[in-house]
Amino acid sequence: MPIQFSCPKCGGRLTAPDSAAGVTAPCPRCGASVTAPLQAGQPLPAGQARGSAVSAPHHTESAGRAVQAPTRTGPVCHICGGGTIAGVCSCCSRIVCRECATRERKDLVCSPCRTLRDGTTGSNPVAALRAIEALGPDVARHRPQRATREVKKAHDLVEMTIRSLVAEGALDAASALALRAQSARGLWGLPPAYVPSPSRRSAPNRPPTREEFDITAQVVSSFLPVPATHPGLTAMVGELASRASIPTPRLWILRDEVPNACAVGFVPEEAHLMVTAGLLNSGIPERQLFAVLSHEVAHITLGHTAENTALHAKALDIQMSAALTGGAVAGAGGGLGATVASVSALSDDDCVGLLGLVVGLGIAAVGGAVGAGISAQGAAAAKATLTRGLHHMEFAADARGAELSGDPQALADALAYLDRSQDAGRWSGRAVGHAAHAFIVAPGVAWSLADASTHPPCSRRIAALALLRMAREAR
């Protein structure tokens, strides 16, 4: 149990852990020497005089004989185990030295408590979680009042961030953050956090059907690409395909000078990866180029290229069978509303429903045009569902791509560069408008299929990557 007592000089109420019984330290308010009283029936540790704490002697070897090191007397910093004692932290009630604490007005605050408060007020949930972990199980067991308040505020921030990430479609970052928060919540007696499921889709391991092969060939030819002959690029794609355990996709170069990349194909066995000449000539570091390719290989691995290819085919007015689009409901009317309702809470496994909604029921409703029997509310719901589905695929490919490359920071840097480099006036041909949804970043050209948002803001993708990296790193 924590020891609560008063300073004999200023009368301030102080709290210290029971391990500090008999220890003398400066009062954090007035600086006067105060000795933490013993609990009833609690003896002083053997060899410890009242008002001091004696550390155990240790020995060092010198010239072949044991020499006893000088004995340190007095209280010891509960954070670093040494230093010149400054007092007791006003938040967690630990004894701290001058190096591990700062004085803020009349309060002495240790570095973990300050980081905890700054992380909460600065909306940095990972920094707040690190600070909670730095407080350790002893503080969590005693649960000082001020520290407990700050910990609850930090976990509220974490919970809010998790739900915000889920709403955006960044399920991998949300799941990693929730898992890191779980152990700390248990130590502080808080209820378990909401842990969303990460992205678990995988592309089917089978050859393409004849229809899939023909549609993919038409989509690829619409870009007017040339086969890639860059040996370094081919080696990178081969390495990433090996890591992802998929066949190496065919590699193409687009003549456009805007740096970007995309991938198409219904199954990995017939996948195509395209990079622009602008990306190869941009001079970006090799690790960033590798990260861009890892994002596209991730789309193939996760099966997202099936949706991207079908949407591109729809923009080209290529006819697709109902079996390919997931058996879409025929006709608009009430069918659209029922389909929208069934996928309004789109998850990682609902892309067949997305294809049926977008391709089978008609993109006009998604784009905002209200046709016969289609309500404005249904069109808005369809558009929101499509937007969230496309955003979720980008967040998931970022997470999987960072895992494949092993360098999430390189992907974040590449996204920032590519986002700055898009210029609608430098793209050639109409294919970019049909494939605006498939590129790693929005190309700056309006999507020809619908007025839905094809990509989340790059700032949010970079933030999700940072959260994912920090939440998964070794504690």
Res. 6: pLDDT tops 50: yes
Instruction: Based on the fold, state whether residues 430 and 321 are members of the same structural domain.
Output: yes
130, 113 contact by CB (below 8 A): no
> Residues 19-43: what's their mean pLDDT?
70
Instruction: Based on the fold, state whether residues 21 and 113 are members of the same structural domain.
Output: yes
Instruction: Based on the fold, state whether residues 164 and 219 are members of the same structural domain.
Output: no
Last residue of a domain, one of 187, 218, 253: 187
What does DSSP say about strands 33-35 and 59-62: parallel, antiparallel, or unpaired?
Answer: unpaired
Q: Is 296 a catalytic residue?
A: yes
* Distance, CA of 35 to CA of 326 (rounded, Å): 75
> Residues 349-358: what's their mean pLDDT?
47
The per-residue pLDDT for 377 is: 63
pLDDT band at 42 (very low <50, low <70, confident <90, very high): low
List, in sequence order, every residue forming a beta bridge with 62; answer none if it has no partner: 65
Instruction: Based on the fold, state whether residues 173 and 250 are members of the same structural domain.
Output: no
* Distance, CA of 146 to CA of 134 (rounded, Å): 16
Res. 145: pLDDT tops 50: yes
Instruction: Based on the fold, state whether residues 139 and 253 are members of the same structural domain.
Output: no
The per-residue pLDDT for 305 is: 92
Query: Is residue 44 one of the residues assigned to a domain?
Result: no
* Distance, CA of 291 to CA of 294 (rounded, Å): 5
pLDDT digits (tens, 9 = 90+) for 44-103: 544 444 444 433 333 334 444 444 444 445 678 888 888 788 899 999 999 999 889 988
* Distance, CA of 252 to CA of 234 (rounded, Å): 10
Instruction: Based on the fold, state whether residues 254 and 142 are members of the same structural domain.
Output: no
Instruction: Based on the fold, state whether residues 270 and 136 are members of the same structural domain.
Output: no
pTM for the whole thing? Answer: 0.74
Query: Is residue 92 one of the residues assigned to a domain?
Result: yes
Out of 168, 296, 307, 394, which one is annotated catalytic? Answer: 296
SS3 string, the chain, reads: CCEEEECCCCCCEEEECHHHCCCEEECCCCCCEEECCCCCCCCCCCCCCCCCCECCCCEEEECCEEEECCCCECCCCCCCCCCCEEEECCCCCCEEEHHHEEEECCEEEEHHHHHHHHHHHCCCHHHHHHHHHHHHHHHHHHCCHHHHHHHHHHHHHHHHHHHHHHHHCCHHHHHHHHHHHHHHHHHCCCCCCCCCCCCCCCCCCCCCCHHHHHHHHHHHHCCCCEECCCHHHHHHHHHHHHHHCCCCCEEEEECCCCCCEEEECCCHHHCEEEEEHHHHCCCCCHHHHHHHHHHHHHHHHHCHHHHHHHHHHHHCCCCCCCCCCCCCCCCCHHHHHHHHHHHCCCCCCCHHHHHHHHHHCCHHHHHCCCCCCCCHHHHHHHHHHHHHHHHHHHHHHHHHHHHHHCCHHHHHHHHHHHHHHCCHHHCCCCHHHHCCCCECCCCCCCCCCCCCCCCCCHHHHHHHHHHHHHHHCCC
Last residue of a domain, one of 155, 187, 219: 187
Instruction: Based on the fold, state whether residues 301 and 441 are members of the same structural domain.
Output: yes
pLDDT digits (tens, 9 = 90+) for 95-127: 999 889 988 888 899 988 988 888 766 678 888
* Average pLDDT over all residues of the chain: 80
pLDDT band at 469 (very low <50, low <70, confident <90, very high): confident
Query: Is residue 205 one of the residues assigned to a domain?
Result: no
Query: What interhelical angle do 171-187 and 458-472 show, nearest 10?
Result: 40
Instruction: Based on the fold, state whether residues 156 and 273 are members of the same structural domain.
Output: no
Amino acid (1-letter code) at residue 375: S
Residue 156: how many CB atoms within 10 A of its CB? 14
Query: Is residue 64 one of the residues assigned to a domain?
Result: no
> Residues 222-248: what's their mean pLDDT?
95
Res. 256: pLDDT tops 60: yes
* Distance, CA of 240 to CA of 226 (rounded, Å): 21
* Distance, CA of 336 to CA of 379 (rounded, Å): 8
Query: Is residue 139 one of the residues assigned to a domain?
Result: yes
* Distance, CA of 430 to CA of 433 (rounded, Å): 6
> Residues 370-385: what's their mean pLDDT?
60
pLDDT digits (tens, 9 = 90+) for 263-322: 999 999 999 999 999 999 999 999 999 999 999 999 999 999 998 998 899 888 888 887
182, 236 contact by CB (below 8 A): no
Cα dihedral sign for 398, 404, 406, 410?
Answer: negative
Domains held by the chain: number: 2
pLDDT digits (tens, 9 = 90+) for 133-143: 888 888 998 88
Res. 12: pLDDT tops 60: yes
The per-residue pLDDT for 341 is: 34
Query: Is residue 175 one of the residues assigned to a domain?
Result: yes
* Distance, CA of 195 to CA of 386 (rounded, Å): 24
pLDDT digits (tens, 9 = 90+) for 312-338: 998 888 888 877 765 333 332 333 333
Instruction: Based on the fold, state whether residues 326 and 447 are members of the same structural domain.
Output: yes
Domain that holds residue 373: 210-472
Amino acid (1-letter code) at residue 113: C
Token pair of 342, please?
A: 């069934």
The per-residue pLDDT for 366 is: 42
Percent of the chain with pLDDT over 90: 38
Query: Is residue 254 one of the residues assigned to a domain?
Result: yes
The per-residue pLDDT for 325 is: 66
Last residue of a domain, one of 127, 156, 187: 187
Instruction: Based on the fold, state whether residues 126 and 228 are members of the same structural domain.
Output: no
Token pair of 443, please?
A: 């190309």
pLDDT digits (tens, 9 = 90+) for 386-414: 888 899 999 999 999 999 999 999 999 99
* Distance, CA of 120 to CA of 130 (rounded, Å): 11
pLDDT band at 260 (very low <50, low <70, confident <90, very high): very high
Taking alpha carbons only, the member of 166, 15, 38, 3 closest to residue 87 is 15
Query: Is residue 97 one of the residues assigned to a domain?
Result: yes
Instruction: Based on the fold, state whether residues 131 and 227 are members of the same structural domain.
Output: no
Pick the residue with more confidence: 471 or 256?
A: 256
> Residues 146-154: what's their mean pLDDT?
90
pLDDT digits (tens, 9 = 90+) for 197-225: 887 778 888 999 999 999 999 999 999 99
pLDDT band at 129 (very low <50, low <70, confident <90, very high): confident
What does DSSP say about strands 24-26 and 33-35: parallel, antiparallel, or unpaired?
Answer: antiparallel
